[in-house]
Chains A and B, each alone.
Chain A
């Protein structure tokens, strides 16, 4: 592996989304901090809700939000499907273990277990739908900027921004390594050769990263870098975000009030 030119290490490169996630369209313009704050707040709130009626309401509200997001904000059905699949794959484990009890008389059906599993499923799906709706069309850069704007500690924000920039570079390197291996007949199988090859490729990836870090260090020191990266420029929050805010807060308020209406 030869050392790439120093210019390529310029942290100013525009980067894309990490590999494995469909590239986001340059969808929403403007600052995403309101939406990120909503997503975090909604997740935390919903995670604490117990009442079945509230959870059903939230599922409906979140699904509606997703429908809007698909129509107006560039939420791709493929992304939504992938997330729901991931969440529900875990929930299969929950359903396999909670409702059934292995007692001395064999399998017993536990009503409590079913209830708990149902509650967990509702929460998990409601949160997944809400987050999908609120964060549709955002790429890694948007997230990083939004998090920084929301007051993440300075060094943490810098770490996040740097990581997002390097994800594209490292992802590209991995693709090249994977392609080199496949071009010479490698195919991932359940055998020891696969583990050996993947370990080899991982080592090359790590070496690449460590070498690049050395070069970045040299480049920064050559420019008498004193340790402070530029502050993240703030842009305006799009008006549509306030609509989402109203909708989300209203839905959450209803969810919290529902149990008290009987």
Chain B
């Protein structure tokens, strides 16, 4: 999940910020004005959802749901997550401004990947397909985030961070299970509540006749 301020070094922060800015720009370009309220509403949902604690025996984990967000938002997940992270950094929660680019990148890039990997499953939304889509999105989202966090740390500190990377990956495992499970079940239920919404691909519709 998020990295704290002060961990990554300058060049890594800069490179990540640059990549994130590119993603945000691309996401904004593909987000037409009419779909802004929808993107904002979904962003609000994911921000609120991230405050939910799920007990897992020893302590609890937060929902992240970046994969599910990517599945529904497409490239728009970049600006939406960037804004959410900016608000979190400013409103005295977790994260930070210097590491904003890195956090955006590590959450949003896997989210976009999840979008491309799973969206065909939304085309004919049967329950097994929706469960699969939600689980896959959750898995790609968290695994991707853990991998990118590891890469960023490796680029920053090299061998000194090896154990930290291992620990972070280990900590991400219960998050992955929770995110994939809840994502799968939620998407399946959403398919029952609003079947047409999923088929249309809420924010980033697949290319084709409208």
Determine whether A and B are in direct contact in the complex, meaning some CB atoms lie less than 8 angstroms apart: yes
Interface residues of A (CB under 8 A from B): 11, 17-21, 36, 39-40, 43-44, 46-48, 79-80, 82-83, 86-87, 90-91, 93-94, 96-98, 100-102, 110, 112-113, 116, 119-124, 126-128, 131-132, 135, 138-140, 143-144, 147, 153, 155-156, 158-160, 162-167, 169-171, 174, 188-190, 194-196, 198-200, 202-207, 209-213, 216-217, 220, 227-228
Q: For residue B191, which residue of chain A has the nearest CB?
A: A203
**Closest-CB distance, B153 to chain A (whole angstroms):** 10
In the complex, how many residues of chain B place their beta carbon closer than 8 angstroms to a beta carbon of chain A?
Answer: 78
Q: Does the CB pair A48–B10 fall under 8 Å? A: yes
Q: Does the CB pair B54–A198 fall under 8 Å? A: yes
Candidate in B32, B36, B44 with the most chain A CB atoms within 10 angstroms: B44
**Closest-CB distance, B72 to chain A (whole angstroms):** 8
Q: Does the CB pair A159–B83 fall under 8 Å? A: yes
The residues of A that contact B87 with a CB separation of less than 8 Å are 18, 140, 143-144, 160, 163-164
The residues of B that contact A198 with a CB separation of less than 8 Å are 52, 54, 63, 182
Other than the given A48-B13, A203-B189, 5 more pairs (CB < 8 A) read A39-B97, A83-B94, A124-B7, A160-B86, A166-B40
The residues of A that contact B55 with a CB separation of less than 8 Å are 188-190, 194
Q: Does the CB pair A188–B7 fall under 8 Å? A: no
Minimum-distance CB pairs A-B, first 4: A123-B6, A199-B185, A162-B40, A203-B189
Q: For residue B90, which residue of chain A has the nearest CB?
A: A143
**Closest-CB distance, B132 to chain A (whole angstroms):** 15
Asked if B125 is at the interface (CB within 8 A of a chain A CB), the reply is no
The residues of A that contact B178 with a CB separation of less than 8 Å are 195
The residues of B that contact A121 with a CB separation of less than 8 Å are 6
Q: For residue B84, which residue of chain A has the nearest CB?
A: A163
Q: For residue A169, which residue of chain B has the nearest CB?
A: B44
**Closest-CB distance, B129 to chain A (whole angstroms):** 16
**Whole-angstrom distance between the alpha carbons of A213 and B94 in the complex?**
29
**Whole-angstrom distance between the alpha carbons of A138 and B190 in the complex?**
35
Given A98-B160, A120-B7, A199-B182, are A156 and B28 also a contact pair (CB < 8 Å)? yes
Asked if B41 is at the interface (CB within 8 A of a chain A CB), the reply is yes
Asked if B144 is at the interface (CB within 8 A of a chain A CB), the reply is no
Asked if B147 is at the interface (CB within 8 A of a chain A CB), the reply is no
**Closest-CB distance, A108 to chain B (whole angstroms):** 12
Interface residues of B in 2-38 (CB under 8 A from A): 3-10, 13, 24, 28, 31-34, 36-38
Given A163-B84, A189-B55, A209-B44, are A44 and B36 also a contact pair (CB < 8 Å)? no
